[in-house]
Each structure stands twice: as structure tokens, then as C-alpha cells.
Amino acid sequence: MQASSTLIAPSILSADFTRLASSIEIAEKAGADWMHCDVMDGAFVPNISFGPFIVQAIASCTKMVIDTHLMIAEPDRYIEDFVKAGSHQITVHQEACSHLHRTVQFIRSFGVKAGVSINPATPVSTLEAILPDLDLVLVMSVNPGFGGQKFIPSAIGKIRQLHSMRMQMNPSMVIAVDGGVTEENAQSVVSAGADALIAGTAFFKAADPAATAARIKALTR
């Protein structure tokens, strides 16, 4: 798959939570494609963020695609809640699922897109058998749990490998990259094969988020 323009997905985690609606409006006016919602449970990752209640509040005030990233153990227990909250796509972690195929089918049974994320230490090859069933793979370029971390360069090789695998097995599958994405590394991420860039700090802490989004969206492979 070759997206005509790079998709940008601001991570709400880096927004000003005292002004959630205006943060969403900033993303929407900047032409962001997805609103990335980072859900953390304090078990799969060391941090706790928010749950379906906040995702529902976010979904109620935007037309952007609600991209829910579940960094939680046993995600099957909460998938329906996040669908009801308004998620259009739900990504679970390969490392958090004992029966990944079942979980992916379960997500799809609600008519939403299914994604799988892999941590920096998880090889791309662990996704080979499930790749034809996926709408999205989210390559973590930091260890999940916190915004504002430094990009781990080995993610680039993994994106490249995943890109060549999907060309063989599932060309319409989207490759997204999450963690430490900046304007400095965005081009190499896109050149490696990424279609969608998640940007927390780089978007919400930018002097001009709309200009940042425009420059990232203009990147092509």
C-alpha cells in the first residue's frame, strides 16, 4: 500500500487535559487524520492513563478517526467498551495476547478495524501468521508507557521488514509508528514504509502544530 499522503495521528496523551476540547480542535484544524488514544493500565505498562469514559468524551467532539491503542493486559475484557466509546480502530499488543488470532477476530466482529502493536524487543516475524488478518500494525519506536521518549532507531529496520512482508501478504494493511517521532526522523520513518505517524510531543508541544502536521503530511515514500 502506498498512501498518497502520510497520515498524522496526534496522541492525546501529550495534550492539555484541562482543555481537552480545544486540544482536539487544534488537531482537527491541523488536518490530523486520526486521534490516537493511549490507554494504559499500570500492569502491561508502568503508567496509568485513561479508559473508555475519556475516549467517549474525545469521540463526542470530533469527526477524526478514533484510533485506540490499548496498552493493557487481557485486552479482550475491555474491547467492547472501547467500541461503544466510539473507537474506529483498536490496536492491542502482541505481547499482551495469549490468543492473538481470537482477539483480532473479536475486534473485527464489532465492525471496527483491528491493529496489533509490537514493542521494540518484539521481532516483526512474530506477526507473520496473523498479518493477512490485520488492518494495521503499530510499530513501537519507544517502550510503551510514557510520552516524550527518544526514538529507538532499530524501529526503522523493522518498518522496512514489515513493509516488504505486507507487500507479499496484505498490501492494504497500514503501518503506523509510535513513539519519539519528530520532524527530524519522520522522513526516514516514511521512507522505510510507514503510512501513519503517531506524534504526541512533536505535535502538541510544537510552536505551530498545524504547520508541523502539514510538513509531516507532505512526506512521501
Work out whether 153 is an interface residue with ligand DX5 (CB under 6 A). Answer: no
Which of these ranges, 54-62, 72-80, 92-100, 192-200, lies near ligand DX5 under the rule CB under 6 A?
192-200
Which of these ranges, 15-23, 90-98, 128-136, 179-187, lies near ligand DX5 under the rule CB under 6 A?
179-187
Q: Which residues touch 29 (CB under 8 Å, ≥6 apart)? A: 210
Which of these ranges, 10-18, 73-81, 100-108, 156-164, lies near ligand DX5 under the rule CB under 6 A?
10-18
Tell me the C-alpha distance between 73 and 98, whole Å.
10
| Interface positions, 54-83, toward ligand DX5 (CB under 6 A) | 69
Question: Nearer to ligand DX5 by C-beta: 18 or 168?
Answer: 18
Q: Which residues touch 101 (CB under 8 Å, ≥6 apart)? A: 129, 130, 133
Tell me the C-alpha distance between 216 and 31, whole Å.
11
Question: Nearer to ligand DX5 by C-beta: 39 or 169?
Answer: 39
Cite the active site residues: 38, 178
Closest-CA residue to 180 (of 195, 155, 201) = 201
Closest-CA residue to 78 (of 46, 47, 101, 110) = 110
Which of these ranges, 18-26, 108-116, 139-147, 155-163, lies near ligand DX5 under the rule CB under 6 A?
139-147
Report which residue type is found at 36: H
Question: Nearer to ligand DX5 by C-beta: 69 or 166?
Answer: 69
Question: Binds 202, which of Zn ion, ligand DX5, none (CB < 5 to 8 A, cut-off by type)?
Answer: ligand DX5
Q: Which residue has the cell 498524522?
A: 8
Tell me the C-alpha distance between 112 and 138, whole Å.
16
Work out whether 69 is an interface residue with Zn ion (CB under 5 A). Answer: yes
What mask of x and - would describe binding to Zn ion in positions 19 to 58, judged by CB under 5 A?
-------------------x--------------------
Closest separation between CB of residue 5 and ligand DX5, Å? Answer: 20
Tell me the C-alpha distance between 210 and 207, whole Å.
9
Closest separation between CB of residue 22 and ligand DX5, Å? Answer: 19
Q: Residues interacting with ligand DX5, by CB under 6 A?
A: 11, 13-14, 36, 38, 69, 142, 144-149, 178-181, 198-202
